Structure 1
Amino acid sequence: MNFKKALVSVPLSVALLVPGYNVLADEHVEKPTVTNAAVDLRSDLDRLFSEHAYLAMTAMRKGANGEKDFNQVAEALNGNTKDLTAAISSVYGDEAGSKFNEMWSSHIGYFVDYVKATAGNDEGAKQKALENLQRYKNDFSAFISTATEGKLAEEQLAKGLQTHVDQLINGFNAFVEGDYEKAYMIQSDAMEHLYMTSKGLSSAIVSQNPDKFNNTKAVTKAADLRSNLNFLLSEHFALAQQAMQNGINGDPEFDANVKVLNQNTEELSAAIASVYGKEAGMKFKEMWSKHIGYFVDYVKATAATDDAAKQEALDNLNQYRMDFSKFISTATEGRVEADALAQGLQTHVDQLVGAFNSYNEGDYSNTWMKAREGYEHMFTPANLFSSAFVAQFPEMFTGMPEMPETGMGGMSQEKEIMWMLWALPILLFAAIPFVKRKEQSAE
């Protein structure tokens, strides 16, 4: 059982897509922080590793369907690999970065081989792709364990990598078999799993290079909060962007895609209710759901070539932006400025609509450039919100034990449960049982 999201029952509304806001807090109290060299490294790796899963699974589906933007998605995935390589090189040097790039790129190629073999009904080629992924798993685990001087155990790394392989393969198989709900649930699991990768690797890097990171830590309760928000907010963008494409294409997976997107909304709404009360949670859900509906309206209007309806959808999004900003500003007693929030929401709208328009126009390179920008944007509000929450409630993030590290695949189930039982009294006023929406990936 995954308890990660149970820790994210905090007023997420104050962070939603804000380019900047003022946090009112007593300056004389020493507080934990979500922003330092180590936590920033972890957040950067959060983005890059989770984006890998998002783009890889999208590319595999598009490859199976023979969609026109497959090459551009692959280019975006390669861009992600280059960014990851640069991150590794900055710590371990160019030679290690080059080796990382070679191995990481090869494992992406093996997934592509599996897609091609599936399309060709070639069981032998499918098995060969899986065997290549097994070899990669072992070689890459040894490489990372050596680079981190054993701070990440090779055996645990291999287990985590096997989970990654299983999730991408099982998610793809479910998609090909027409089990779209399972496919999108596994996508979410796969993205979330890689947050444990970034957690383990960033912790190892920081422990190897304490001076380079000003003797800060990548794994603290405050850092965990920021990372959890990174996941929920970036997942919203990924699912919304995919749904708009699926909608204009009339794809059979549209309903399943939207169902998982709506369940993401349920989690956000539950978080609001846990802090501001049931009424505020219901109001949030109503407004947030409507803004998703306006994006769907825009897609429908585009399909019907109805310019008036398109403009109406944009007008509704603009009104939502203003109303929602005032609602959040009031709920937070001015800790979030309405004007600043409105600007951040406009960026989010522009990125989703821009990516969709370019897709519909066949400008796929621009589509996936905007998609990457939109995905990255969501990590800014996660940072801003977590900063505000930690400043408001520092006692929740001081003197608490760090969750045990067991490598890139995360902690054992038993240890995770024990940590939750220890922390529960401290987190009780914020913690709520989220609607469990994830099915376990078939192993």
Structure 2
Amino acid sequence: MKFRKSYLAIPLSLTLLASAGGAVSAHNLEPSNPSVETPSSDLRSSLGHLLSEHAYLAAEAMRKGAEGAKDFDAAANALNDNTTDLTAAIESVYGTDAGQQFNEMWTNHIGFFVDYVKASGSNDQAAKDEALSKLDNYRSDFSKFLETATGERLESSSLADGLQMHVNQLVGAFDSYVKGDYEKAYQYERESIHHMHMVAKGLSSAISDQFPEKFHETMAVTPAADLRAHLDHLLTEHASLAVTAMQNGIDGSEDFEASAGALAANTKDLAAAISSVYGDEAGKQFENMWSEHIGFFVEYVKATEAGDEAKKEEALKNLDSYRGEFSKFLETATDGRLKSGALADGLQMHVNQLVGSFDSYAAGDYEKAYEQAREAYAHMLNPAKGLSGSIVDQFPEKFAINMPAEMPKTGMGGTAEREMPFEMLLAGLFAAAGITAMAVRRKVEKN
């Protein structure tokens, strides 16, 4: 496993070792001064990043295993590197012994998925059942581990139910893929990625409640943190689905259309989030530009397949024009809170990472391809934080909602049962943002 880049994960120890001096009550700080950048929100974002990336890489490795693909080892190594990063995160909170326990159980459960893939390849139903049985034992043991680690803030029975959902989603994605039901396979994969953000929500809420002084008495579940987590989810998922679609495109894979469809569905979800804040017209502008930039990546893939250097350069030129226009759109929408120059630089990094991963894949350098794919996944946390922070700063009163003090012990969603859904919360912004949306349209049209 060559890939060991610590910047991919925000070390939880940086948050835990932060000085508690000047800490104030979350009930006083967050309702009146909502922010996406709190120690607890950072914790949730870091866990959401690594846990959802696990789901993405696990689905990818299982799919590559079924194909007997040349890049299977590289995909598996990337998944193992994600485990290393997750282990470091657990160690930074609970110590080396707990980290080692986590690593052993987490690595074993990945192995059981691999056993299931191998058994499917040899049509060995008994071996498949044995793998599922081992996964069942794992979820029980792992649930008890987390219940104990969090001082019973997370309940093992609820955790076990959530882990069963994780198993069902990954196995469902794999089984659907093997059967040729590619649309359902990617539907399962997207559900799995989203589900792991819910796991991060519950775990970060438990940890911040367990060590309140280390997290400056802030909460992992607030309207502002929910917004950041939602954009974390959709933007990182965009990167993963783009990587997969581009690989499928150059390979001429049968599941290319399904992977492209999943990427388009992610775009719809992102556009809905923008619409809920800035109105339908702004959401449509976003969707058009975002879809267009995906199209330019597709053109680059096609040009690579055809060996047409001129077309590849044209696609890159179009991506360069897109990032300038899109950056101006977001700067206008956020009333200058996001600066177009910095946004354009970030978008260039996004382009470089996706194109770099694809070029490495096409050249057969699979280790580098997955290294760059992980970089692309992690990078999207930056625009998620920037955009969510700008929205909260723009409409602070809409995110200054008193949250329930008691944390239910679901283990999967923090205050999911009592929390206002993201879409419902942001729908309330529509009326307040009406004037802003009109201004956005006028300014964008003028520019």
TM-score (norm 1): 0.86
Does the 8 Å contact 1:167/1:186 carry over to 2? yes
Select 2:187's aligned residue among 157, 181, 185.
Answer: 185
Gaps of 5+ in 2: 1-30, 432-447
Give 2:286's aligned amino acid: F
Does the 8 Å contact 1:153/1:406 carry over to 2? yes
Shift of 1:330: 2.9
Which residue of the partner structure matches residue 409 of structure 1? 412
Does the 8 Å contact 2:150/2:207 carry over to 1? yes
Q: Which residues in structure 2 correspond to 1:20-419 (within 5 Å)?
A: 30-402=32-404, 405-410=408-413, 416=417, 419=419
Does the 8 Å contact 1:197/1:407 carry over to 2? no
Shift of 1:404: 5.5
Query: What fraction of aligned residue pairs are identical, expressed as a percent?
Result: 54
Does the 8 Å contact 1:85/1:101 carry over to 2? yes
In structure 2, distance between residues paired with 1:209 and 1:245: 43
Does the 8 Å contact 2:201/2:412 carry over to 1? no
Shift of 1:85: 0.5
Give 1:264's aligned amino acid: N
Does the 8 Å contact 2:398/2:429 carry over to 1? no
Does the 8 Å contact 2:338/2:390 carry over to 1? no
Which residue of the partner structure matches residue 443 of structure 2? none
Q: Determine helix, strand or coil for the equivalent of 2:213.
A: coil
Gaps of 5+ in 1: 1-28, 432-443
In structure 2, distance between residues paired with 1:78 and 1:335: 38
Which residue of the partner structure matches residue 15 of structure 2? none
Q: Structure 2 vs 1, CA of residues 331 and 227 (structure 1 numbering), >3 Å: closer, same or farther? A: closer
Q: Determine helix, strand or coil for the equivalent of 1:336.
A: coil
Shift of 1:191: 0.5
What is the number of equivalent residue pairs in this alignment? 400
Q: Structure 2 vs 1, CA of residues 302 and 390 (structure 1 numbering), >3 Å: closer, same or farther? A: same
In structure 1, distance between residues paired with 2:104 and 2:425: 47
Give 1:165's aligned amino acid: V
In structure 2, distance between residues paired with 1:231 and 1:239: 12
Does the 8 Å contact 1:163/1:409 carry over to 2? no
In structure 2, distance between residues paired with 1:267 and 1:234: 13
Q: Structure 2 vs 1, CA of residues 321 and 210 (structure 1 numbering), >3 Å: closer, same or farther? A: same
Q: Structure 2 vs 1, CA of residues 421 and 112 (structure 1 numbering), >3 Å: closer, same or farther? A: closer
Give 1:349's aligned amino acid: V
Shift of 1:419: 4.5
In structure 2, distance between residues paired with 1:173 and 1:134: 18
In structure 2, distance between residues paired with 1:140 and 1:332: 43
Q: Determine helix, strand or coil for the equivalent of 1:409.
A: coil
The farther-off stretch of 109-118 and 232-241 is 232-241
Shift of 1:272: 2.8
In structure 2, distance between residues paired with 1:370 and 1:348: 10
Q: Determine helix, strand or coil for the equivalent of 1:212.
A: helix
In structure 1, distance between residues paired with 2:160 and 2:421: 28
Give 1:31's aligned amino acid: N
The farther-off stretch of 173-182 and 285-294 is 285-294
In structure 2, distance between residues paired with 1:365 and 1:388: 36
Does the 8 Å contact 1:111/1:129 carry over to 2? yes
In structure 1, distance between residues paired with 2:152 and 2:276: 41
Which residue of the partner structure matches residue 21 of structure 1? none
Which residue of the partner structure matches residue 6 of structure 1? none
Shift of 1:400: 2.8
Which residue of the partner structure matches residue 438 of structure 1? none
Q: Structure 2 vs 1, CA of residues 215 and 346 (structure 1 numbering), >3 Å: closer, same or farther? A: same
Q: Structure 2 vs 1, CA of residues 265 and 82 (structure 1 numbering), >3 Å: closer, same or farther? A: same
In structure 1, distance between residues paired with 2:430 and 2:107: 41
In the TM superposition, what whole-angstrom CA distance separates every residue of 1:133-172 from its partner, at most 9, and x where no partner exists?
0000111111111111111001001001100001010111
RMSD: 2.1
In the TM superposition, what whole-angstrom CA distance separates every residue of 1:212-257 from its partner, at most 9, and x where no partner exists?
2222221211111111111011111111110000000000111011
In structure 2, distance between residues paired with 1:368 and 1:149: 37
